Amino acid sequence: MNQLISISKNEDIPQKYMNTPIGSLLQYHNLNREFETYTSARLLIGMCMDNRKHLHIPDNFSYIIRTGGANLRYSEFKVSYAIAVGGVKALALIGHTNCGMVNLAARKKLFIENLVINAGWEAEKAEEHFNQFAPMFEIGNEIDFVLSEVIRLRLKYPKILIAPLIYKVENNLLYVIKED
Protein backbone atom coordinates (compact mmCIF):
# COMPACT_ATOMS: atom_id res chain seq x y z
CA MET A 1 0.00 0.00 0.00
CA ASN A 2 3.06 2.30 -0.06
CA GLN A 3 2.27 2.89 -3.72
CA LEU A 4 -0.77 4.96 -2.79
CA ILE A 5 -0.96 8.74 -2.77
CA SER A 6 -3.33 9.99 -0.09
CA ILE A 7 -5.56 12.90 -1.17
CA SER A 8 -6.43 15.04 1.85
CA LYS A 9 -5.94 18.49 0.30
CA ASN A 10 -5.83 19.96 -3.22
CA GLU A 11 -2.03 20.02 -3.22
CA ASP A 12 -1.98 16.20 -2.91
CA ILE A 13 -3.60 15.74 -6.32
CA PRO A 14 -0.89 14.96 -8.90
CA GLN A 15 -0.38 17.89 -11.28
CA LYS A 16 -1.37 15.87 -14.36
CA TYR A 17 -4.86 15.42 -12.88
CA MET A 18 -5.43 18.99 -11.67
CA ASN A 19 -8.09 20.86 -13.66
CA THR A 20 -9.29 17.60 -15.23
CA PRO A 21 -12.33 15.43 -14.49
CA ILE A 22 -10.02 13.10 -12.52
CA GLY A 23 -8.98 15.98 -10.26
CA SER A 24 -12.63 16.93 -9.86
CA LEU A 25 -13.51 13.34 -8.91
CA LEU A 26 -10.83 13.36 -6.19
CA GLN A 27 -12.03 16.76 -4.95
CA TYR A 28 -15.70 15.74 -4.88
CA HIS A 29 -15.14 12.41 -3.20
CA ASN A 30 -12.27 13.07 -0.78
CA LEU A 31 -12.34 16.83 -0.24
CA ASN A 32 -16.11 17.48 -0.23
CA ARG A 33 -15.90 20.01 -3.06
CA GLU A 34 -19.23 21.73 -3.58
CA PHE A 35 -21.15 20.06 -6.40
CA GLU A 36 -21.44 21.78 -9.74
CA THR A 37 -24.30 21.15 -12.15
CA TYR A 38 -23.56 18.96 -15.16
CA THR A 39 -25.69 18.34 -18.21
CA SER A 40 -23.35 15.74 -19.69
CA ALA A 41 -20.73 13.34 -18.37
CA ARG A 42 -17.14 14.53 -18.10
CA LEU A 43 -15.65 11.23 -17.00
CA LEU A 44 -15.95 7.47 -17.34
CA ILE A 45 -15.43 5.56 -14.11
CA GLY A 46 -14.61 1.87 -14.23
CA MET A 47 -15.01 0.31 -10.81
CA CYS A 48 -15.84 -2.94 -9.07
CA MET A 49 -19.41 -4.09 -8.59
CA ASP A 50 -18.74 -4.48 -4.84
CA ASN A 51 -21.57 -3.04 -2.77
CA ARG A 52 -19.25 -1.47 -0.15
CA LYS A 53 -18.25 1.40 -2.44
CA HIS A 54 -20.21 4.57 -3.02
CA LEU A 55 -18.78 7.63 -4.74
CA HIS A 56 -19.59 11.16 -3.61
CA ILE A 57 -20.09 12.85 -7.01
CA PRO A 58 -22.72 15.12 -8.57
CA ASP A 59 -25.47 13.89 -10.87
CA ASN A 60 -24.56 13.65 -14.55
CA PHE A 61 -20.82 14.02 -13.80
CA SER A 62 -19.80 10.58 -15.04
CA TYR A 63 -20.66 7.34 -16.69
CA ILE A 64 -19.94 4.38 -14.42
CA ILE A 65 -19.22 0.82 -15.51
CA ARG A 66 -19.25 -1.62 -12.61
CA THR A 67 -17.72 -5.02 -13.15
CA GLY A 68 -15.97 -7.55 -10.91
CA GLY A 69 -12.51 -6.29 -9.97
CA ALA A 70 -12.92 -3.16 -12.15
CA ASN A 71 -11.96 -5.47 -15.01
CA LEU A 72 -12.94 -3.66 -18.22
CA ARG A 73 -11.57 -6.33 -20.60
CA TYR A 74 -15.10 -7.49 -21.38
CA SER A 75 -16.67 -4.03 -21.40
CA GLU A 76 -14.60 -2.37 -24.12
CA PHE A 77 -17.56 -1.57 -26.32
CA LYS A 78 -19.12 0.34 -23.42
CA VAL A 79 -15.84 2.20 -22.87
CA SER A 80 -15.68 3.04 -26.58
CA TYR A 81 -19.30 4.19 -26.54
CA ALA A 82 -18.71 6.56 -23.59
CA ILE A 83 -15.76 8.05 -25.47
CA ALA A 84 -17.20 8.13 -29.00
CA VAL A 85 -20.83 9.02 -28.30
CA GLY A 86 -20.66 10.34 -24.73
CA GLY A 87 -17.63 12.49 -25.46
CA VAL A 88 -15.66 11.72 -22.30
CA LYS A 89 -11.95 12.49 -22.42
CA ALA A 90 -10.91 10.92 -19.11
CA LEU A 91 -11.28 7.55 -17.40
CA ALA A 92 -10.76 6.73 -13.72
CA LEU A 93 -10.11 3.05 -13.12
CA ILE A 94 -10.90 2.35 -9.48
CA GLY A 95 -9.88 -0.89 -7.82
CA HIS A 96 -10.53 -1.39 -4.12
CA THR A 97 -9.07 -3.06 -1.08
CA ASN A 98 -10.34 -6.49 -0.03
CA CYS A 99 -11.65 -7.30 -3.51
CA GLY A 100 -13.49 -10.59 -3.96
CA MET A 101 -11.91 -11.10 -7.39
CA VAL A 102 -8.53 -11.63 -5.69
CA ASN A 103 -7.70 -15.29 -5.01
CA LEU A 104 -10.91 -16.67 -6.45
CA ALA A 105 -9.62 -20.21 -5.98
CA ALA A 106 -10.00 -19.78 -2.22
CA ARG A 107 -13.75 -19.23 -2.72
CA LYS A 108 -14.36 -22.06 -5.19
CA LYS A 109 -16.09 -24.36 -2.68
CA LEU A 110 -18.29 -21.52 -1.38
CA PHE A 111 -19.14 -20.45 -4.94
CA ILE A 112 -20.22 -23.97 -5.93
CA GLU A 113 -22.16 -24.67 -2.73
CA ASN A 114 -24.08 -21.41 -2.91
CA LEU A 115 -24.93 -21.74 -6.60
CA VAL A 116 -26.47 -25.08 -5.67
CA ILE A 117 -28.33 -23.69 -2.63
CA ASN A 118 -29.26 -20.20 -3.87
CA ALA A 119 -29.72 -20.73 -7.59
CA GLY A 120 -30.73 -24.39 -7.82
CA TRP A 121 -27.72 -25.45 -9.89
CA GLU A 122 -26.31 -28.94 -9.96
CA ALA A 123 -22.89 -29.08 -8.25
CA GLU A 124 -21.25 -30.42 -11.40
CA LYS A 125 -22.52 -27.50 -13.52
CA ALA A 126 -21.57 -24.97 -10.83
CA GLU A 127 -18.02 -26.32 -10.71
CA GLU A 128 -17.78 -26.31 -14.50
CA HIS A 129 -19.01 -22.71 -14.50
CA PHE A 130 -16.41 -21.68 -11.91
CA ASN A 131 -13.59 -23.46 -13.74
CA GLN A 132 -14.56 -21.84 -17.04
CA PHE A 133 -14.89 -18.25 -15.83
CA ALA A 134 -12.74 -17.79 -12.71
CA PRO A 135 -9.50 -17.55 -14.73
CA MET A 136 -11.02 -14.76 -16.85
CA PHE A 137 -12.03 -12.72 -13.82
CA GLU A 138 -9.21 -13.42 -11.32
CA ILE A 139 -7.30 -10.16 -10.91
CA GLY A 140 -4.44 -11.20 -8.61
CA ASN A 141 -3.32 -8.17 -6.59
CA GLU A 142 -5.67 -5.15 -6.74
CA ILE A 143 -2.96 -2.53 -7.27
CA ASP A 144 -1.00 -4.55 -9.83
CA PHE A 145 -4.18 -5.33 -11.75
CA VAL A 146 -5.31 -1.70 -11.90
CA LEU A 147 -1.88 -0.61 -13.11
CA SER A 148 -1.76 -3.29 -15.80
CA GLU A 149 -5.31 -2.51 -16.92
CA VAL A 150 -4.49 1.22 -17.12
CA ILE A 151 -1.49 0.43 -19.35
CA ARG A 152 -3.68 -1.75 -21.59
CA LEU A 153 -6.39 0.91 -21.83
CA ARG A 154 -3.87 3.69 -22.57
CA LEU A 155 -2.58 1.69 -25.53
CA LYS A 156 -6.13 1.22 -26.81
CA TYR A 157 -7.24 4.83 -26.16
CA PRO A 158 -4.06 6.98 -26.44
CA LYS A 159 -5.85 10.36 -26.38
CA ILE A 160 -7.80 9.58 -23.18
CA LEU A 161 -6.44 10.60 -19.76
CA ILE A 162 -6.58 7.44 -17.64
CA ALA A 163 -5.89 7.40 -13.90
CA PRO A 164 -5.22 4.36 -11.68
CA LEU A 165 -7.05 4.73 -8.36
CA ILE A 166 -7.80 2.60 -5.31
CA TYR A 167 -10.84 2.93 -3.06
CA LYS A 168 -10.04 1.88 0.50
CA VAL A 169 -13.16 0.29 1.93
CA GLU A 170 -11.65 0.81 5.39
CA ASN A 171 -12.08 4.60 5.20
CA ASN A 172 -14.14 5.15 2.00
CA LEU A 173 -11.46 7.35 0.40
CA LEU A 174 -9.86 7.35 -3.03
CA TYR A 175 -6.10 7.12 -3.48
CA VAL A 176 -4.00 7.63 -6.60
CA ILE A 177 -1.69 4.71 -7.39
CA LYS A 178 1.90 5.84 -7.97
CA GLU A 179 3.20 4.80 -11.36
CA ASP A 180 6.87 4.05 -11.97
State pTM to two decimals. 0.93
56: nearest Cα among 31, 21, 86: 31
34: left (phi over 0), alpha (psi -120 to 50) or beta: beta
Instruction: Tell me which architecture the domain covering 4-100+141-177 has in CATH.
Output: 3-Layer(aba) Sandwich (3.40)
Q: Are 57 and 12 in contact (CB under 8 A)?
A: no
Dihedral pair phi/psi, residue 15, rounded to 5°: -50, -40
Listed by start position, the domains of the chain span: 4-100+141-177, 103-138
The pLDDT score that the predictor gives to residue 146 is 96
Q: What is the pLDDT along the chain (180 residues), one digit of tens a residue?
A: 579 999 999 999 999 999 999 999 999 999 999 999 999 999 999 999 988 889 999 999 999 999 999 999 999 999 999 999 999 999 999 999 988 898 999 999 999 999 999 999 999 999 999 999 999 888 889 999 999 999 999 999 999 999 999 999 999 999 999 997
